[in-house]
Chains A and B, each alone.
Chain A
């Protein structure tokens, strides 16, 4: 791992952390429940991005599967929450 790549990964992770902070602010503030669900969805995706970048940092393929699972569960969770907001129940 060269200094260039290490520095780039550090800056990228810092950007993700800042983005997660801003998203968490929207999650806490969000006027409607739909804003909170949207922010939670974005938080899931940013967490997945962090895991992917850590996979590059530690040069391991194992992180990829975790990222795939996070993406999948994030979608399922967001879809269930949106369905709940739409109908009042998740499975009809």
Chain B
């Protein structure tokens, strides 16, 4: 196996270190923020910028290794860019739905549904 040029390794190393720091930021945010709706924002750091850094590192590394453009890692970026907001919005809706009956005076699910429909 031939050795990669130094600047390629530097770029890959910097991107990987940045992704590690961003993953840590997301996890600390998930652990430390107070309410669920604040906590929901922390993993978005990981699912957007962190994934982008790792995928770019993989693209740069494999392209430099094989001497041609290798864009497979792009698929993961596209997949997560599409799916992460879907998961987040579904979870937010679930959290809203589960928090609603606890707030007001004690009502059955049917009464809550009736209020919702008006």
Contacts and interface: CB of A to CB of B under 8 A. Distances in A.
A34 B43 contact: no
The B interface is mostly helix, strand or loop, or mixed, namely: helix
Interface residues of B, number: 53
B47 A68 contact: no
A23 B27 contact: yes
Contacts of A2: 3-4, 6, 9
Nearest to B89: A82
Contacts of B58: 52, 55-56, 64
Given A52-B73, A67-B76, A86-B97, A38 B50 contact: no
Contact of A26 (B19, B31, B50, B87): B31
Contact of B27 (A32, A42, A56): A42
Interface of B: 1, 3-4, 6, 9-10, 12-14, 16-17, 19-21, 23-24, 26-28, 30-31, 36, 39-40, 43, 46-47, 50-51, 54-55, 57-58, 61-62, 65, 70, 72-73, 75-76, 79-80, 83, 86-87, 90-91, 93-95, 97-98
Interface of A: 2, 4-5, 7-9, 11-16, 18-20, 22-23, 25-26, 31-35, 37-39, 41-42, 45-46, 48-49, 52-53, 55-56, 59, 61, 64, 67-68, 71-72, 75, 78-79, 82-83, 85-86
